[in-house]
Structure 1
Amino acid sequence: MPDELLLTGGLVVDGSGGPAVTADVLVRAGRIAAIGPGLSAPVARDVTGRVVCPGFVDIHTHSDLTLLSDPRALSKVHQGVTTEVVGNCGLGVAPLAPGVPVAPIRAAVGYLDLDAAVDWSWPDLAGYFSVLAAAGPGINVASLVGHLALHGSVVGFTDRPAGAAEVDRMCGLLGEAFDAGAVGLSTGLVYAPLPYVRDDELLALARVVAGRDRIFTWHVRNYDDALVDSVTQAVRVARATGARTQISHLAAVGRRNWGAVRKALDLVDAANADGFDIGVDIYPYLHGNAPLSQLLPAHTQEGGPEAWMPRLADPAVRAFVRAAWVDRPTGWDEITLSWTSRPAPDPVVGSSVAELAAAAGVDGAEIVLDLLAALGNGVLMTAGGRSEDDLRAVLGHPATVVASDGLALDPGGVTGAGVPHPRSYGTFPRFLQRYAADLPDGIRRCTSAPAARVGLSDRGLLRPGAPADVVVFDPARLADRATFTAPHQFAAGIDLVLVNGAVTVDGGEHTGARAGSVLRGNT
């Protein structure tokens, strides 16, 4: 692999939002050496008619464990992603309080756990980073601290407030993770035991975040009927503590809630006008993806999967859950099973709950309760009920960046099972091809803007001295090819991807290079 590579004649969009210019880009020793006309080098590639831009920075991902299953990050790097941030939605894999077994935490974050062969042996974030670096990732990886691991390992899985000493212990563990290089904290207030968290705990953790100038990302408590109240909570904590805040995958679920995102964005605007720093991210699709267990009332999930799975056999518990589902904002026809922990192919995968119910002669609630009783967090869904107008309102907002909420998957390996959300393969090409009316601004929302949100100041821009994370794409052919029924398809039009100067995708083919780095926040 050459130490020096010259890309000639391309349309350079540098990630700043500034206008595109025709220029050459010289890469040397893993960094951008020069940008301008008339450059020369022994090894040159004509990229006339192509866009040359920074690698995409995906700040909302769930690749914590899949990168250890296959470090190449195929589904991500083939769409131009060169940097991921893991540990989102509160579902990180470190740190755990000393002496706490991994098993209950691993079961609680089952959404991340597509390969049971991955050996989760680290106790803290420094240990996770060591394991990840030893695996040789094909892209750069930074990490948030997942609130679930903190709370679950210190407080447990019961519905009770954390005591003062427990809050202090979580704050101490969070500080240690920041010392190890975490770029922020994430919470996910729908993932048990986090629905049981009170504001005093959130405020205390947010003060640690603010004191270290990191970011606090929120999978808010509710995205359907209580979306505005849930965003209000996140904004209230930001105002009280000054923590830089990110509202994750902002969307309103259920037709009766369409339009609520505008009220949520008004809250963001008001806080930013008052001098606070609140951002938003979203992926360009009208379906989400989550554990099926997210549908359960929080009370039902107390004690963790080992407790609530057998509890779902109790007729009284099933009746309680059924009653909670009477007025759901989405129908069973809008929920499709995308993956289970059973050996592939599982015949239920790819079918909607309504289809399975009709085939079995029962209602949708029966199907879901039976699956959860058998598999716990080992069953995933894609869920609809969203509005195109809402999506465009969020994507067009000045505080919004693009992020996939997906995973790095290997279509030919263990993590290629099922019919996952296509966002893992196509988020960034889809956004640029379908939604980005202004290409420089669209690329900014995929590169420098998300990098800045998480404090990765050396990523997301093409400038001399910066690491050479570079994407070359054909704007005439750029397209997401992954669909909800056939998701394991790489994007089209991504001609060349460099990660830290190493040619990683060339002509749509992976070269085998694994030149990614573990990125650490300022310590």
Structure 2
Amino acid sequence: MEGAAEVRGGGARAGGPARRRPPQRLPLPGAAAGAAWGRLVIDLLISGGTVVDGTGADGVRADVLVAGGTVVAVGPPGPAEAARTIDATGKVVCPGFVDLHTHSDLTLLSAPQGRSAVHQGITTTVVGNCGLGVAPLAPGADVAGVRAAVSYLDLDPSIEWAWRTYGEYLDAVAAARPSLNVAGLVGHLPLHAGVVGFDDRLPTAAQLDAMTSLLSDALSAGAAGLSTGLMYAPLTFARRDELDALARVVADHDAVFAWHLRDYADDVLPAVREALEVAAATGVRTQLSHLTVVGRRNWGNAAKALELVDAARADGLDVAIDMYPYLAGNAPLSQRLPAWAQAGGESVMRSRLTDPEAVTRIREHWAGQPLGWDEITVNSAPGAPEVVGRRITELAAERGADADTVALELLARLGNAVSMVAGGRDAGDLRAVLSHPATVIGSDGQALDLDGPTGEGSPHPRAYGSYPRLLSDHVADGTLTLPEAIRKATSGAARRAGITDRGTITAGQAADIVVLDVGRLADRATFADPRRYPDGVDAVIVNGEPTITEGRHTGARAGQVLRARNNSKGQSS
């Protein structure tokens, strides 16, 4: 169901407006409070819990009243009557988590209940990250080539790509009736690949105009911003003129530009500087995605990266960070290849990997890399289940081959569809990033279902447990307080996406709410056994509809597509 969404730039209305009743703000003094409670006609009462409202404030014991999909009152217990009551005594009541960084672009079309996301308390997901979007598709675009390039997202081959424009893609998501709200970024990859192609070449002036026009149309159709992924071909070939031109369009629409940086290892600091230089040149609101540092020899560089961010913010730039609470990432294995080896598209890349001269050059590139094959595990390999869950070095030892050979054979056989879990990270760097004032939370995961195509393979556990892990492990170890962790996962993330009508539990906000039993709260997903729901997420409410109750999915699909109203400055909305 599509519905209302207040988004930076004026407040989007997707489809018909939701039926919301005027909010009544409580508490009121003395007897007036009781009278006000008694006059309310409400759909849902969440009673007796400690409300941590998402602003960063400490929790207070209060009841939450919901009507018409909206929070209508928050205050001391009163005599209100409701069609349904959830007893939250002894539990924490907080806003639903706004997952700023996800790759659920296609999985929600295959499995719209999005169980792995909703079970951990996510009520809003932002898709289209790392440049790996699925729309818009330019006239004449090589759609099959784009689909192959973003196969990391493409877990269900039966999903038909019937859209061309970004608005048509959002229509397809709305028609799927997801269980959680969906906002989206425009992926740089379909823009660039659809107009320029997959080779290592700069866009012509006409091609750059075509890309900026497609981007502007997509932002006007409701996209919340743009993402790039400069480690993914053909975006590896994008240079400053292209990035500046796209950033100006995003800035003109008062939207956000999210960056999967060009490098997170030896060249992480130059990569951060590149993003900040574009922000300074264009004034675009900038998000540094999953800021991390890879390789033991680079540990400690997170602090230096954060100093660069602090300096940019001190200069008045609107720059922030997102991160997930794990010491390993997940990406296509092809990300390990040098840029030249990926030129031409997936089929050309796979053919190139059988050329002895090219193989020699790739081996030379891999020599001395900061991340070893012993830190990389195959977690998805369609058609090759025997390699899933195995380290590259284990497979090499089993076959009597070297690790480079195994990786090359997998890439030649499966292309971009083979993905990895990669470690090589430092706990101190992670804590520094999570605790930084400019950091909000994004899982970098996908909404998956235990049954069907999206439940296959061995996904990164962040798809099932990011938020319980954050609120248990990283609160228990002192990295964050519970109110601040919740703020980073709710209002902080929502505001970065320009979403203003959810992210807090206050009167007038959309009723996206989670009830947590903090004493039991735990991420049960592991790298060895990732497909496990967390403990302690007792209830999840999406737009006023109970979607998880007593830890079980109700089957409700009350999510809305949140279309930003971010028309170009100077144009009427």
TM-score bracket for the superposition, by shorter chain length? over 0.9
Structure 1 residue matching 2:297: 3-state secondary structure? helix
Aligned partners of 1:63 and 1:444: how far apart in 2? Answer: 23
Aligned twin of 1:454: 497
| 1:160-188 C-alpha deviation (Å, 9 max, x unpaired) | 11111111111100000011100000000
Aligned twin of 1:432: 471
The amino acid across from 2:370 in the alignment is: P
Quick one: percent identity of the two aligned structures? 57
Aligned partners of 1:215 and 1:370: how far apart in 2? Answer: 39
| 1:459-512 C-alpha deviation (Å, 9 max, x unpaired) | 101111111000001010001000001000001100000000000000111000
Aligned partners of 2:88 and 2:505: how far apart in 1? Answer: 16
For 1:514, which of 520, 544, 557 is the aligned residue?
557
For 1:41, which of 81, 94, 97 is the aligned residue?
81
Tell me whether 1:358 sits opposite 2:358 in the alignment: no
Structure 2 residue matching 1:110: 3-state secondary structure? coil
Aligned twin of 1:308: 349
The amino acid across from 1:148 in the alignment is: L
Aligned twin of 2:407: 368
Aligned twin of 2:421: 382
For 1:480, which of 518, 523, 546 is the aligned residue?
523
For 2:189, which of 141, 144, 148 is the aligned residue?
148
Structure 1 residue matching 2:322: 3-state secondary structure? strand
CA shift, 1:101, in A, is 3.5
Aligned twin of 1:50: 91
Structure 2 residue matching 1:462: 3-state secondary structure? coil
CA shift, 1:329, in A, is 0.6
Aligned twin of 1:26: 65
CA shift, 1:200, in A, is 0.3
Aligned twin of 2:371: 330
Aligned partners of 2:91 and 2:344: how far apart in 1? Answer: 54
Aligned twin of 1:342: 383
CA shift, 1:3, in A, is 6.6
8 Å CA contact 1:287, 1:386 repeated in 2:
yes
| 1:293-336 C-alpha deviation (Å, 9 max, x unpaired) | 00000000110001110111111111110010011111111000
Structure 2 residue matching 1:432: 3-state secondary structure? helix
Aligned twin of 2:144: 103
8 Å CA contact 1:422, 1:482 repeated in 2:
yes
Aligned twin of 1:242: 283
The amino acid across from 2:345 in the alignment is: G
8 Å CA contact 2:325, 2:469 repeated in 1:
yes
Q: TM-score, normalised by structure 1?
A: 0.98
The amino acid across from 1:387 in the alignment is: D
CA shift, 1:350, in A, is 0.5
Aligned partners of 1:41 and 1:153: how far apart in 2? Answer: 56
Aligned twin of 2:450: 411
Tell me whether 1:177 sits opposite 2:218 in the alignment: yes
Aligned twin of 2:5: none
Aligned twin of 2:12: none
The amino acid across from 1:517 in the alignment is: Q
CA shift, 1:64, in A, is 0.2
The amino acid across from 1:507 in the alignment is: E
Tell me whether 1:442 sits opposite 2:485 in the alignment: yes
Aligned twin of 2:173: 132
Aligned twin of 1:233: 274
Aligned partners of 1:65 and 1:138: how far apart in 2? Answer: 14
Unmatched segments (≥5 aa) in structure 2? 1-40, 567-573
Q: Kindly report the root-mean-square deviation, in angstroms, between the aligned alpha carbons of the 2 structures.
A: 1.0
For 2:317, which of 276, 279, 284 is the aligned residue?
276
Aligned partners of 1:282 and 1:44: how far apart in 2? Answer: 35
Which segments of structure 1 move beyond 4 Å, counting only runs of 4 or more?
none
8 Å CA contact 2:441, 2:489 repeated in 1:
yes
Structure 2 residue matching 1:376: 3-state secondary structure? helix
8 Å CA contact 1:10, 1:24 repeated in 2:
yes
Aligned partners of 1:195 and 1:291: how far apart in 2? Answer: 14
CA shift, 1:434, in A, is 1.1
Aligned partners of 1:167 and 1:41: how far apart in 2? Answer: 59
| 1:138-178 C-alpha deviation (Å, 9 max, x unpaired) | 10000000000000000001101111111111110000001
CA shift, 1:70, in A, is 0.4
8 Å CA contact 2:141, 2:193 repeated in 1:
no
Structure 2 residue matching 1:168: 3-state secondary structure? helix
Aligned twin of 2:113: 72
Tell me whether 1:489 sits opposite 2:532 in the alignment: yes
Aligned partners of 1:99 and 1:195: how far apart in 2? Answer: 22
Tell me whether 1:216 sits opposite 2:292 in the alignment: no
Structure 1 residue matching 2:394: 3-state secondary structure? helix
Structure 1 residue matching 2:380: 3-state secondary structure? strand
| 1:188-233 C-alpha deviation (Å, 9 max, x unpaired) | 0010000101100000100111111100000000000000000000
8 Å CA contact 1:3, 1:30 repeated in 2:
no
The within-5 A match list for 1:175-214 is 175-214=216-255
Tell me whether 1:319 sits opposite 2:345 in the alignment: no
Aligned partners of 2:536 and 2:474: how far apart in 1? Answer: 17
Relative distance call for 1:130 and 1:82 in structure 2 (3 A) is same
